[in-house]
């Protein structure tokens, strides 16, 4: 009797699971709207849009720029916006079938786009990209075929409007064709020059010299003797571990590579001959790990480098504990001690090895062009009306106002080159009682903003800090870049390839990162150099358990297609 009852329960549970599983799939069978034909309906003039908003925004309802754009094309938009937990809420709405006419500022991945495009949740926009409906965007796509390539899915359809920010050295006068993104080199290393002077040491140019300098900082307890902090408080060098702008990666330059955290895949490197490789299995990488382990074991690198947050690093630096670190701006990291620090140029490798005189920085790609910021759904009756509204976003002056704030508020006037000038902090404080940044926060909209490099040259000026950073990048750091080949961030992948990436990439990146940390911290077996067996075992693990070869194959194939399409 009891047994029967249990079996019955198990059976009914299984049935419930099956049914729920099936209903999950069935949404793919409902009416697919993506037939490649245009929907000529123009009756709908009121639209619901759901999406992300800056936590600091004062809302889109009263945003004068957005309201003017709506008036221009005679539509009205009801906004439903949220500043956090957006992904959960959007997923719930899509699964529940209760979604709006469009999603704006959500940031769907290519994987999401393909999935929701396939089942008809998102509308294919290809037929609408015409001179009549979207003149501005069409002009841009005409001029920049690479943008069209980046937003086109593998099946030739486009499920979202392009967005991206090309903040490059073109904004400080470089030629458009060889301009570099502000993200090209994310870490600027810096060293305490006052300590060096006190000790009578030069600014290091090689890793050996830096080693000696760090050793001297440590032995003379510079934080104690020079700044009067507690005895033993000196941390010769403190950074994060594989962190974006505050990692240790810049110091690897002496071994001929810098493995930045990367939007495409960590440690992926494109050689100048067009083949891809992973630097984390190269011999240089192995030597690099051995080398820096000795630094770590001598106490030159911060023991907390693997666990600390950027706030903790900042706290240490602003107490004057730290001799060498990385960040974008010296004054921001070092606070009141900033005047004592100078940028530490990339260093060449240890003497007496094959890396003597080697000093190479591998560069990162800029930010990608994505198409997940504006997607129109199958619920929209008159896509034409809505797309006419969004076409206005692809005009330099309009985009600028959506990104920063309206002309007359954030932008005060044009100079003799017809470039818009933005409000200064003092003016903003006087007129609106808040800083220029706060003013901007209030107006910024999230959505399909395509900020082309040429806008910074032709339409408006960059913020002064961005100009500083780009200047340092161009003058102090780019000279150390010998090979500018970089894996293009806009490469598109087929759905099969995306499955492979989805499956292997997280494991691969985690495994490499963990092992990198262990080697830096503990070294090879028994604290010595990495042994041949360990190295083989590591490579085998990456190939067999983390799909390294599959990943390489996917990245190579996608790159070959990319270059084939461009030429």
Partner 1 sequence: MKKARGLSERASDIVLVAITAVVLIIVAYPLYYVLIASVSDPYDVYAGKTFLFPSGFTLDGYAAVFQDPNIVSGFLNSVKYTVIGTVFSVTMLYITAYPMAQRDLPGRKFLSIFFLITMYFGGGLVPTYLVVKSTGLVGSMWSLFLPGGVAVGNMILVRNYFQNNIPKDLIEAARVDGCSKLGIFLRIVIPLSKPILAVMAVFSMVAYWNDWFTALIYLGGKGSPLPLVMRNILIKSSASASQAATISGGYAELNKLTELLKFCSMIVAAVPMLVVYPFVQKHFEKGFMAGAVKG
> Which residues are near partner 1 by CB under 8 A?
20, 54-56, 82-85, 88-89, 91-92, 95-96, 98, 167, 182, 245, 310-312, 314-316, 318-319, 321, 329, 332-333, 335, 437-438, 441, 463, 465-466
Which C-beta is closer to partner 1: that of 434 or that of 561? 434
Shortest distance in whole angstroms from residue 66 CB to partner 1: 20
For 452, the token pair is 């082309």
DSSP result, 122-140: BPP-GGG-STTT-HHHHHH
Shortest distance in whole angstroms from residue 493 CB to partner 1: 27
Q: State how far the Cα of 176 lies from the Cα of 166, in Å rounded to an integer.
A: 11
Q: State how far the Cα of 31 lies from the Cα of 525, in Å rounded to an integer.
A: 61
Shortest distance in whole angstroms from residue 503 CB to partner 1: 22
Please check whether residue 133 is in contact with residue 394, taking contact to mean a CB–CB distance below 8 angstroms. Answer: no
Shortest distance in whole angstroms from residue 485 CB to partner 1: 26
For β-strands 164-165 and 450-451, DSSP reports them as: parallel
For 288, the token pair is 């690099």
DSSP result, 223-240: HHHTT---TT--EEE---
For 97, the token pair is 């079938």
| DSSP one-letter code for 255 | G
Chain center to CA of 304: 25
Shortest distance in whole angstroms from residue 239 CB to partner 1: 16
Shortest distance in whole angstroms from residue 200 CB to partner 1: 29
Q: Which helix (H) or strand (E) holds 14?
A: helix 2-26
Which C-beta is closer to partner 1: that of 84 or that of 536? 84
Which C-beta is closer to partner 1: that of 465 or that of 485? 465
Q: State how far the Cα of 230 lies from the Cα of 244, in Å rounded to an integer.
A: 31
Shortest distance in whole angstroms from residue 472 CB to partner 1: 13
Please check whether residue 7 is in contact with residue 97, taking contact to mean a CB–CB distance below 8 angstroms. Answer: no
Q: Which among 275, 268, 241, 288 has a CA at the least distance from the CA of 517?
A: 241
Q: State how far the Cα of 339 lies from the Cα of 228, in Å rounded to an integer.
A: 17
16 three-class SS:
helix
Which C-beta is closer to partner 1: that of 167 or that of 264? 167
Which C-beta is closer to partner 1: that of 84 or that of 142? 84
170 three-class SS:
helix
Angle between helices 207-219 and 283-297 (to 10 degrees): 10
Which C-beta is closer to partner 1: that of 171 or that of 254? 171
Shortest distance in whole angstroms from residue 242 CB to partner 1: 18
Which C-beta is closer to partner 1: that of 311 or that of 417? 311
Which C-beta is closer to partner 1: that of 44 or that of 89? 89
For 314, the token pair is 């900042």
Shortest distance in whole angstroms from residue 83 CB to partner 1: 6
For 237, the token pair is 């060098």
Backbone φ and ψ of 324, nearest 5°: -135, 135
Which C-beta is closer to partner 1: that of 95 or that of 544? 95
Chain center to CA of 64: 30
Which C-beta is closer to partner 1: that of 89 or that of 553? 89
Q: State how far the Cα of 397 lies from the Cα of 213, in Å rounded to an integer.
A: 51
Shortest distance in whole angstroms from residue 314 CB to partner 1: 6
Q: Which helix (H) or strand (E) holds 207?
A: helix 207-219
């Amino acid at each position: 009797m009891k047994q029967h009852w249990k079996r019955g329960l198990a059976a009914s549970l299984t049935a419930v699971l099956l049914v729920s599983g099936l209903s999950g799939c069935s949404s793919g069978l409902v009416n697919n709207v993506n037939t490649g034909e245009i929907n000529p309906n123009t009756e709908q003039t009121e639209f619901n849009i759901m999406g992300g908003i800056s936590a600091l925004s004062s809302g889109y309802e009263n945003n004068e720029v957005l309201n003017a754009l709506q008036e221009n094309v005679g539509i009205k938009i009801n906004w439903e916006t949220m500043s956090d937990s957006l992904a959960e809420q959007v997923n719930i709405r899509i699964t529940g079938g209760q979604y709006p006419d469009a999603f704006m500022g959500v940031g769907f991945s290519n994987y999401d786009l393909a999935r929701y495009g396939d089942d008809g949740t998102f509308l294919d926009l290809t037929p609408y990209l015409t001179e009549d409906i979207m003149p501005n965007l069409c002009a841009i796509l005409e001029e920049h075929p690479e943008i069209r390539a980046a937003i086109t899915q593998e099946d030739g359809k486009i499920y979202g409007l392009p967005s991206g920010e090309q903040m490059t050295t073109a904004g400080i006068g470089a030629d458009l064709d060889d301009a570099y993104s502000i993200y090209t080199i994310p870490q600027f290393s810096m060293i305490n020059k006052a300590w060096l002077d006190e000790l009578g040491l030069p600014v290091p140019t090689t890793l050996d010299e830096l080693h000696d300098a760090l050793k001297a900082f440590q032995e003379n307890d510079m934080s104690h003797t020079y700044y009067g902090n507690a005895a033993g408080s000196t941390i010769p060098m403190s950074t994060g571990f594989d962190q974006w702008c505050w990692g240790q990666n810049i110091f690897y330059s002496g071994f001929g590579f810098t493995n930045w955290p990367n939007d495409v895949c960590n440690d992926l490197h494109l050689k100048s001959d067009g083949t891809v490789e992973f630097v984390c299995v190269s011999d240089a990488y192995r030597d690099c790990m051995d080398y820096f382990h000795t630094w770590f074991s001598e106490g030159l690198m911060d023991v907390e480098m693997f666990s600390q947050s950027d706030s903790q690093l900042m706290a240490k630096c602003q107490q004057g504990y730290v001799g060498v670190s990385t960040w974008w701006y010296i004054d921001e990291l070092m606070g009141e001690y900033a005047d004592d620090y100078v940028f530490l140029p990339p260093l060449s490798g240890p003497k007496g090895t094959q890396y003597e005189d080697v000093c190479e920085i591998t560069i990162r790609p800029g930010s990608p062009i994505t198409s997940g910021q504006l997607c129109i759904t199958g619920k929209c009756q008159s896509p034409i009306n809505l797309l006419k509204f969004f076409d206005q976003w692809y005009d330099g002056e309009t985009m600028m106002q959506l990104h920063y704030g309206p002309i007359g508020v954030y932008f005060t006037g044009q100079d003799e080159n017809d470039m818009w000038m933005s409000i200064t902090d003092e003016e903003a404080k006087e007129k609106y009682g808040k800083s220029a940044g706060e003013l901007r926060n209030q107006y910024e909209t999230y959505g399909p903003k395509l900020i082309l490099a040429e806008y910074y040259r032709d339409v408006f000026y960059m913020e002064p800090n961005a100009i500083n950073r780009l200047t340092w990048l161009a003058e102090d750091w780019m000279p150390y870049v010998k090979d500018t080949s970089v894996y293009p961030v806009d490469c598109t992948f087929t759905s099969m390839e995306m499955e492979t990436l989805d499956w292997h990439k997280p494991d691969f990146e985690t495994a490499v990162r963990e092992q990198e940390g262990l080697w830096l911290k503990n070294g090879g077996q028994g604290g010595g150099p990495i042994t041949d067996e360990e190295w083989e075992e590591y490579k085998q693990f990456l190939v067999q358990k983390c799909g390294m070869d599959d990943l390489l194959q996917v990245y190579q194939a996608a790159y070959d297609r990319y270059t084939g399409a461009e030429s």
